[in-house]
Amino acid sequence: MNILEILKQVGYWIFGKDNIQDQSVAQQTNGQESEQLCFKTFLQQPVVEDVIFTNCQPLWRIRVRNYQLFFSGDDKCIKSIDQTAHACKDEIETLSGNSPDDFSITNSGEIIYADWQERAVFYLQNGQAYPMIKLSGWKPWALCCSDVGDILVAMRSDDARRARVVGYQGSKKTREYSLDSYGRPLYGSPNFVAENKNGDVCVSDADFNRVTVVDRKGNFKFHYCGQQVLRKYPTFYPKGITTDSQCNILIADQHNSCIHILDRIGQLVCFITDLSLNEPYCLCVAKGDELFVGEYHEGQVKKIRYLE
């Protein structure tokens, strides 16, 4: 038994007796992935290390950089809070006055955000917003910054019949994901997107109620449809999605107030529950593998330690 399988079994035992693998999701990839990971083990019990009140209700998106928590909701601002002092530091308005549908932070510290109504992606510099990508016939819903330096933008067509994820370097397209090898649509309504450490692109889908993962070249790897949670709860509506240093994929399950954790090939490892989570909606993982969970209606963010 290899170390990954040992970790899976430990996770099943620790996190609550849900030790049946999801049968619907895994499509095995050929060969072994080459990246080397420093394996961490799951804590016996996840711990809430901090609770940060944003006064942002509803709370739509969160990101963490250099001890700063950035967040946005149903208004025209992206705000930040110093984690150590719990004090609001900055408040930046969008160019149009619309609510930012999603935002991310580049490696150089620039904030970029999607404006669905304007069909555009903007970047913020010195407190000012500047257009970066202008779309025609498409509306951006979600975005993230990739390790290779481009920006992944999840979008739907104006008529809502098509969806895709497109990579951009500046305003130039670098890659696109929309169909699998059989010509079937990968996405219906991609509302959150994240890139894994191994280059996989992970999307939670509001129309298909599933998570879809493709590799960097666009080859389909798996869908996760939540069959495991359906044995306990009547619904699975994936929301926020993020990844950690172990290539685990973490998914917010707002309706069931829990977090699903998958391994890199789509097998359910465990749930995070019983931490008084209330409608977890948006997620991010900091460099030290601390998990930040934004609660939709409460407007608060819980910092959770779940790995050693």
pLDDT digits 0-9 by tens, 251-296: 999 999 999 999 999 999 999 988 899 999 999 999 999 999 999 9
Contacts of 286 (CB under 8 A, 6+ apart): 64, 292
pLDDT score of 31: 38
pLDDT at 12 over 70: no
pLDDT score of 2: 46
Q: State mean pLDDT over 141-168.
A: 97
For the chain, how many structural domains are there in total? 1
SS (H, E, C) the chain: CCHHHHHHHHHHHHCCCCCCCCCCCECCCCCCCCCCCCCCCEEEEEEEEEEEECCCCCEEEEEEECCEEEEEECCCEEEEEECCCCEEEEEEECCCCCCCCEEEECCCCCEEEEECCCCEEEEEECCEEEEEEECCCEEEEEEEECCCCCEEEEEEECCCCCEEEEEEECCEEEEEECECCCCCECCCCEEEEEECCCCCEEEEECCCCEEEEECCCCCEEEEECCHHHHCCCCCCCEEEEEECCCCCEEEEECCCCEEEEECCCCCEEEEECCCCCCCEEEEEECCCCEEEEEECCCCEEEEEEEEC
Q: How far apart (Å, rounded) are the C-alpha atoms in residues 92 and 130?
A: 13
pLDDT digits 0-9 by tens, 55-107: 999 999 999 998 899 999 999 999 999 988 888 877 888 988 999 999 999 98
Distances (CA, A) of 302 to 11, 51, 119, 241, 247: 21, 5, 32, 15, 21
Q: Residue 280, CB half-sphere, CA atoms under 13 Å: how many?
A: 29
Contacts of 37 (CB under 8 A, 6+ apart): 197, 245, 246, 247
pLDDT score of 26: 40
Range of the domain at 235: 3-28+37-307
pLDDT digits 0-9 by tens, 124-137: 988 789 999 999 99
Q: State mean pLDDT over 27-36.
A: 42
Q: State mean pLDDT over 14-28.
A: 37
What pTM was estimated for this model as a whole? 0.87
pLDDT score of 38: 67
Residue 21 maps to which CATH number? 2.120.10.30
Peptide bond into 131 cis (omega under 30): no
pLDDT at 20 over 50: no
- Please indicate whether residue 212 or residue 7 has the higher confidence score (pLDDT): 212
- Please indicate whether residue 144 or residue 27 has the higher confidence score (pLDDT): 144
Position of tokens 């890199």? 264
Nearest to 295 by CA among 76, 66, 69, 61: 61
Position of tokens 């019983």? 274
pLDDT digits 0-9 by tens, 35-56: 455 689 999 899 999 999 999 9
pLDDT digits 0-9 by tens, 226-249: 876 777 778 899 999 999 999 999
Position of tokens 């790995």? 307
pLDDT digits 0-9 by tens, 169-208: 999 999 999 999 999 999 999 999 999 999 999 999 999 9
Residues 212 and 218: beta-carbon distance below 8 Å: no
Nearest to 102 by CA among 145, 51, 150, 57: 145
